[in-house]
Chains A and B, each alone.
Chain A
Amino acid sequence: MNVQLYVWQRLTAAVMAPLVLLHIAVIFYATRQDLTAADILSRTRGSIAWASYYGLFVAAVSIHAAIGVRNILAEWSPLKNRRADLTGAVFGLALAVLGCRAIAAVVLP
């Protein structure tokens, strides 16, 4: 890992830390209040706030996890730097696509 990847991984970790706590709080709230899927969707659909919140979350996760997977591959697998870079990037892109799809499912009207 070089300094660029290090900085991106630390920055995205710093972004994710409060987002994870809020995400867990939301899960507790939804289960304690016995919210149904319809209740949740009525709050999230068309909400720019929820779209922004989870959009930022997905972006941070995709970058952070891509760098982490790239590092694991570079250190522990026969894939060395260039191939590990590429595999990590594909993994991050897949996470971003899946995450955006999930966000679209709950915020698009």
Chain B
Amino acid sequence: MSDTLSELSVSVWRGVAEGRYETYTVPQRASQTVLDVVTFVQRHIDPTLSYRFACRVGVCGSCAMTVNGKPRWTCRTHVVKVAGGGRLEIGPLQNLPVIKDLTTDMEVFFEKWQAAKGVFAPSKTRHDPIAPIRPDTPARMAADAGIECINCGVCYAGCDTVRWNSEYLGPAALTRAWTLVNDERDGGNTARLQAISASGGCHACHSHQSCQELCPQTLNPTASIAGLKRRTAAAYLKGEITA
């Protein structure tokens, strides 16, 4: 027995910065995800369609696309929840250069992650004893609140400030910085606070909270950025960082 319910009309972006939406007809199935739809188009209709995915279970953060106007992780987005009237429009993530079709260039996203000093700076060597970390301290709980970021780029694509301020580091990079600022094992916080206090850093955020609304991991980058604003302001007033 076929598990096909009906048909979907799917518009998919084809091209680079210049291009057009092409419409395909895809069979609608039970428990079908948006990634399943894109995969069907590529495997059965047009093998030249380019898109990116890896794990298909919401861990790797590779498959984010714009679905009916909103950035989403497509492997965990069920078609029935987003396809109003059986219609789907699937495009590449916004705020990132398009390589081809649904594949975006994430280089600037990860460059900003580095610019925000998102790399752990060890304060001890492998010869020191392992630091005991209490899970119930306010700092560790703040770090834990942001550490599940999978760097899918959904928050970056949905951020109004990124759209109009190309310098802005973005919610994901700043959330990563916030987890490290609250990590008692990290020894790089002065340089980190200095880096995110410059123009385009955490103070550029307008707290629109699109990142919080759209984050597939239900993280709250806006709260992390607000924490960074408080922490950098305190560091500036104490003379630990400069403008």
Most buried by B among A2, A76, A81: A2
Roughly how many angstroms separate A76 CA and B161 CA in the complex, as a whole number? 11
Question: What is the interface residue range for chain B against chain A?
Answer: 10 to 19
Shortest C-beta distance, A7 to chain B (Å), equals 5
Contact of B96 with A by CB under 8 A = no
Q: Tell whether, in the assembled complex, residue B203 and residue A1 are in contact, meaning their CB atoms are under 8 Å apart.
A: yes
Shortest C-beta distance, B99 to chain A (Å), equals 28
**Contacts A2-B198, A2-B201, A3-B241: A75 and B165 contacting too (C-beta < 8 A)?**
yes
Q: Is the interface of A mostly helix, strand, loop or mixed?
A: helix
Shortest C-beta distance, B69 to chain A (Å), equals 23
B residues in contact with A75, CB < 8 Å: 164-165
Roughly how many angstroms separate A1 CA and B235 CA in the complex, as a whole number? 16
Shortest C-beta distance, B189 to chain A (Å), equals 14
**Contacts A75-B165, A76-B164: A1 and B204 contacting too (C-beta < 8 A)?**
yes
Binary interface encoding of chain A residues 27-46 relative to chain B, with 1 for a CB under 8 A from any of its CBs, else 0: 00000000000000000000
Q: Tell whether, in the assembled complex, residue B165 and residue A3 are in contact, meaning their CB atoms are under 8 Å apart.
A: no
Contact of B229 with A by CB under 8 A = yes
Shortest C-beta distance, A80 to chain B (Å), equals 10
B residues in contact with A76, CB < 8 Å: 164
A residues in contact with B232, CB < 8 Å: 3, 6
Q: Tell whether, in the assembled complex, residue A3 and residue B164 are in contact, meaning their CB atoms are under 8 Å apart.
A: no
Q: Tell whether, in the assembled complex, residue B233 and residue A2 are in contact, meaning their CB atoms are under 8 Å apart.
A: no
* B:199-220 near A, CB below 8 Å: 199, 201, 203-204
Listed A/B pairs (26) with beta-carbon separation below 8 Å: A1-B199, A1-B204, A2-B197, A2-B198, A2-B199, A2-B203, A2-B243, A3-B197, A3-B201, A3-B203, A3-B233, A3-B235, A3-B236, A3-B241, A3-B243, A4-B243, A5-B243, A6-B203, A6-B229, A6-B232, A6-B233, A7-B237, A10-B233, A75-B165, A76-B164, A81-B199
Residues of A in contact with B (beta carbons under 8 Å apart): 1-7, 10, 75-76, 81
